[in-house]
Amino acid sequence: MAPCDTDWVVLLSTTGPGHEAALAKLHGLLLKAVRHQVLQMYGRLPTIGVVRVDELINQAADEAMVAVLGKLSTFQGRSKFSTWAYKFGILYAAVEVRRSMWRHWDVDLASVPEQPGHGLVPEEEAEGAELSVAIREGLEKALTPHQRRVLIALLIDDVPIDVLADRLGTSRNALYKTLHDARGRLRRYLTQAGFLGEPTSRVIP
Amino acid sequence: MTPARRVTTQELLGRLTFSAEPWMSCDECFEAVDGYVEMLLAEAPDSIPGLRAHLAACSACLEECRSLLLLAAADAGVDPGRALERLGNA
Ligand SMILES: [Zn+2]
């Protein structure tokens, strides 16, 4: 039987009776979350073989275990302990899978594409041409080189944010801030140029 | 690696200029996501608009949130359909 949520923290943070069993149960929860995440992303995993998948699962679970134990004091009971722990397993598994997917690919961090709308459907090309030019100008004029390469990599080339963070030696958190700021600058540029009205955002039901 | 994705210029514009307000960082999103998922599964009203905006703007955090929701729903033995629908609008 799993400990109740307050027991989890006590059992995991003090070396007494039940500590080892709680550690083992936590590892079981994390393996479950990691396997679940790998399964969710399995179609995108390159053919890396069963042994490598097993290694990936165990590595992610071990990293998640260290992270959970390090953050134990921050568990405030806003969710069940299992849900709280699962999110660490899911995060570390997702990052490992994304890294694995991109390990043989170069990330082009230097260029601005000739046409930012290079994947346009044909019937859209004519009416989109003017806007496409404006977007390209906005990318060049409104953004810093760093903002430009982050925006293009994440939103046009679909490089996963964790992979880009690895290649640039930074974090997901820092890249998201760059992305947020770059979107704001481009939005202001394109609004002033007459291509945008109200800010693009969605209402949450 | 540049996937051959076909998007309209308008879709590209939306993606490049999306306004995720109120501001929330990826770290703050991670802090709150477990409570958020349980709130969605309980069909409670959304009380964290910043998180919702973040998920609409950050595909990695959204992917992980959706996955956590499925796992928590399976554990609780509840149908994730309605909660996924709400999340799908992020
Ligand atoms: Zn994020």
- What pLDDT, on a 0 to 100 scale, did the predictor assign at position A185? 98
Query: Which residues constitute the domain of residue A145?
Result: 122-192
**Rounded CA gap, B64 and A142, in Å?**
32
- What pLDDT, on a 0 to 100 scale, did the predictor assign at position A63? 97
Residue A181 located in a structural domain: yes
Query: Which residues constitute the domain of residue B79?
Result: 21-88
Mean pLDDT value across chain A: 86
Substitution target in B5, B47, B67, B85 with the highest count of A β-carbons within 10 Å is B67
**Rounded CA gap, B67 and A202, in Å?**
22
Q: Which residue has the higher pLDDT, A8 or B57?
A: B57
**Residues from chain A contacting residue B2 (CB–CB below 8 Å):** 156-158
Q: Which residue has the higher pLDDT, B57 or A5?
A: B57
Residue A56 located in a structural domain: yes
For residue A202, what is the DSSP state? -
- The 10s digit of each residue's pLDDT in A63-85 is 999 999 999 999 999 999 999 99
Q: Which residue has the higher pLDDT, A46 or A177?
A: A177
Yes or no, beta carbons of A204 and B52 under 8 Å apart: yes
| Distance from residue A161's CA to the centre of ligand 1 (Å) | 9
Yes or no, beta carbons of B52 and A90 under 8 Å apart: no
Judge whether residue B3 has pLDDT over 60: no
The angle that helices B59-76 and B49-57 make with each other, rounded to 10 degrees, is 120
Cis geometry, peptide bond prior to residue A199 (ω within 30 degrees of 0) = no
Yes or no, beta carbons of A135 and B12 under 8 Å apart: yes
| Mean pLDDT score, A12-28 | 91
Q: Does the beta carbon of A141 lie under 8 angstroms from any beta carbon of chain B?
A: no
- What pLDDT, on a 0 to 100 scale, did the predictor assign at position B47? 87
Out of A101, A131, A165, a domain closes at: A101
Judgement on whether residues A93 and A169 belong to the same structural domain of the protein: no
- Cα→Cα distances A144→A98, A140, A182, A183, B86, Å: 27, 8, 8, 12, 36
- What pLDDT, on a 0 to 100 scale, did the predictor assign at position A51? 78
- What pLDDT, on a 0 to 100 scale, did the predictor assign at position A123? 47
Residue B8 located in a structural domain: no
- What pLDDT, on a 0 to 100 scale, did the predictor assign at position A203? 41
* Residue A115 near residue A136, CB atoms below 8 Å: yes
| Domains: count for chain A | 2
Judge whether residue A117 has pLDDT over 50: no
- What pLDDT, on a 0 to 100 scale, did the predictor assign at position A204? 38
Its pTM stands at 0.88
Yes or no, beta carbons of A132 and B4 under 8 Å apart: no
Residue in chain A lying closest to B26 (CA): A173
| Domains: count for chain B | 1
* Residue B34 near residue B75, CB atoms below 8 Å: no
Residue B16 located in a structural domain: no
Judge whether residue A126 has pLDDT over 70: no
* Residue B58 near residue B89, CB atoms below 8 Å: no
Residue A106 located in a structural domain: no
| Mean pLDDT score, A95-112 | 78
Judge whether residue B28 has pLDDT over 90: yes
Yes or no, beta carbons of A135 and B9 under 8 Å apart: yes
ipTM: 0.91
- The 10s digit of each residue's pLDDT in B49-70 is 899 999 999 999 999 999 999 9
**Residues from chain B contacting residue A102 (CB–CB below 8 Å):** 1
Kindly compute the dihedral angle of the four CA atoms of residues B33, B38, B43, B44, in this order, to the nearest 10 degrees. -70
Residue B62 located in a structural domain: yes
- Cα→Cα distances A181→A151, B11, B15, B27, B88, Å: 10, 19, 14, 17, 25
User: Which of A102, A177, A186 has its CB closest to that of B25?
Assistant: A177
List Cβ neighbours of A191 (8 Å cut-off, separation of 6 or more).
A197
